[in-house]
Structure 1
Amino acid sequence: RHLVCGPVKTPGSHLTAAQYLQLRRGQMKEASEMKYGDQVEGQTWDDIIRVMTSATVRFELLSTVHTSPVTLDVQREGGVSTKGPRGGVFVMYNCARLHTLFDSYERGVEKGLYPEIPEGSQLDFSALKEEGEWLLLFNYLIPFSELLDQSGQALDGEGGGARVNIKTEQICKFLVSLSKDFSSYYNRVHVLGEPLPHLFNQMFCRLYLLRALRELYHSALDTLNLPPIRQL
């Protein structure tokens, strides 16, 4: 099985595919070292950089309609940001933030600060009053399944083979837009509040919402054959 994108252009440079991948990996490693310093070593970080490089490349190639040319910026001094709202890195970064959030919650449960999340029927979801919470629900969680249904179209293939027109650009655009709105919400709202009983209902409602969002990220990334990462 192969996924074919349009012609790839690299203005001002003549890189082979292998050189392009090597360039992006080097930029990803450099960006990680600038942010995390000496922590960036060992197999765990090698795996993270490999996945992040793959995410960068896939979003660069698959964010354009596959019948159109893809123009890549391969200037070596350009670098790759680990946080800017630019494609795969930004998406993976925000997916990792959700893992960090739930890891923090689980540690709080182990320390006795928070109780386990109750069943949804026991919660009052009217506590979700932030505009950003409803934006995540109505703009992303609810329409996601329809987006998946529309992103693939089976076509007749020659010689009995199957050919599918996959609109990867829609998935990529959806994930980048989601990540911008989630990042804005997450930077503004303190999800894990003080361990006080009268605050638990709102916290649990938010955790329910964000747990569904984490599952959405995983499903959407899986369509691009990208595994989620737990830290960045």
Structure 2
Amino acid sequence: MDCNPLSQLSQQLFEFFARPLEQASPTDALPPSRLRRCGEILRYNNEDLAEQGDLSLAAIARYWQNFASRQECVLRRPAELLLPGEEERRELVEHSREWRFPLAEICVLRKERYALHLQRRPVIAHVLRSVLSQAADYGRPKKSQDSPTMCLQLGINTTAEGSSVELRDYRLQQLYKIMRRLAEYSPWQLVESKDRLEDTFCVMVESQKCSKDHVCVVSGPVLEPVKKTATGLCLDDYLELRSTHMRLMAMHRSGIRPAGLGSLDTLMKRLGEAAVIVDLFEVRHATAAIVVRNGLGSSKGASYILYNSARLETLLRTFAGLVNAGHYEPLPPLEEIDLSILEDDMDWQLIYGYLLTFPELLESLMDNLQQGQCGVHLLVRYIDNLAGVFSRYYRHKKVLVQQRVQLMPVVYARMYLIMAVRQVLNIALSLLGIEPIEFV
């Protein structure tokens, strides 16, 4: 099964509208291919889904024809608009019934677009089963002897080790480590230099671009916030600074407790290490990163992300405690859960907007590697946004407040969702080398 079902959905939609140039019959199917990037003609949404649709299509046929031409295809029906009337829209909905994710309805949007709404239950079932059964392998493609090979090397010569390394060198080292972890979630098979094949793709992570026979992935400088000059901070100085920021924010929030995690200093150090990673990679890797002097970065930051990570752990731990105390029955098997409960808009945004799209995100991070680009900042942005959506969900849903017997199916369904969100967030954090925390 394709670990990225959105790719399959994109292909199915494209096949409904287009056919290969050499095929005479308008009913002939397209040969198997992998369609992933459609530009503005096909846009997946993760906000305002009720109004904007789960995804939207460009209505003007010539936009699709331009895209189809690049795929050596032609539109099946000559017309100015793709779906000019209600009958054509119903035809697409009916046609989608055989798809893994069938459509529920199609609405006309402003700006010459159609809003497509998916049937929610098949998506919910697929996401929860995939995330919880595959666990740490969710979004990881299967590799074989035919997988393309990559040799990834670190181009750095420094005598500094451990915490005494300069921040720019540390950023370079961490970019290399993150890319190695991302390669595990990509079709690439990593090989060492001595095991390179003739067609092995060679990548060097370096501090500046060179003209050698490999692709250079450049790690940019680390600058001071006001003068924009190179920072003189080494890693241990910056870790101490960011750990202090984390301590002050934790005291202000009065929510972080070190119980079960050792001393408060140990916890604050872990938070400080996470903050450094977020600071260095919330911008593109080749762009200058700015050190944080006042405790506030341009994103919500590591404290916000890990605070919500800890909320997930707390919810699951609290539920287990209530089960042990006899207040709740044990969690039933997923097959016995009424998934219609999770068709609510807030549940749906988490499931469709973030959990389902995670494999697509992982696939996209190394799409432009041949141009020397790796989308680590997109992973940081995803984690930041997921934490924000879950925070709103946590405030509004009050998952464990509902203890009446008739409301228990709601609790059980949402506990499965909490487990899935925790799993995906932990995978994403692990790719950045960040440890989640367990207590708030």
TM-score using structure 1 length = 0.84
More strand as a share of residues: 2
Aligned residue runs from structure 1 range 1-232, under 5 A: 2-4=173-175, 5-12=219-226, 14-17=231-234, 18-36=236-254, 43-74=262-293, 78-79=294-295, 86-152=300-366, 165-232=373-440
Cα pair 1:87 1:172 within 8 Å, conserved: no
Q: 1:122 to 1:104 in 2, by over 3 A?
A: same
Matched position secondary structure for 2:331: coil
Cα pair 2:222 2:290 within 8 Å, conserved: yes
Aligned equivalents of 1:116 and 1:15: distance in 2?
55
Q: After superposition, what is the alpha-carbon deviation per residue over 1:65-115, rounded to whole angstroms, capped at 9, x for unaligned?
A: 1111112332xxx2359xx96121111110100000011101100110001
In structure 2, runs of 5+ residues without a counterpart are 1-153, 155-172, 176-218
Matched position secondary structure for 1:152: coil
Cα pair 2:250 2:256 within 8 Å, conserved: no
Q: 1:107 to 1:146 in 2, by over 3 A?
A: same
Aligned equivalents of 2:358 and 2:404: distance in 1?
34
Letter aligned with residue 223 of structure 1: L
Aligned equivalents of 1:99 and 1:225: distance in 2?
19
Identity score, percent: 26
More helix as a share of residues: 1
In structure 1, runs of 5+ residues without a counterpart are 157-163
Cα pair 1:125 1:202 within 8 Å, conserved: no
TM-score using structure 2 length = 0.46
Pairwise CA distance, 1:145: 1.2
Letter aligned with residue 117 of structure 1: L
Pairwise CA distance, 1:197: 2.3
Q: Give the structure with higher Rg (CA).
A: 2
Match of 1:159 in 2: none
Matched position secondary structure for 1:177: helix
Cα pair 2:274 2:434 within 8 Å, conserved: yes
Which deviates more from structure 2 when the two are superposed, residues 92-101 or residues 9-18?
9-18
Aligned equivalents of 2:389 and 2:376: distance in 1?
20
Pairwise CA distance, 1:214: 0.3
Q: After superposition, what is the alpha-carbon deviation per residue over 1:101-152, rounded to whole angstroms, capped at 9, x for unaligned?
A: 0111011001100011111111111122431110001110001012112223
Aligned equivalents of 1:121 and 1:219: distance in 2?
24
Aligned equivalents of 1:115 and 1:166: distance in 2?
46
What is the total number of aligned residue pairs between the two structures? Answer: 220
Letter aligned with residue 118 of structure 1: P
Matched position secondary structure for 2:174: coil
Letter aligned with residue 377 of structure 2: E
Q: 1:100 to 1:85 in 2, by over 3 A?
A: farther
The alignment's C-alpha RMSD in Å is 2.7
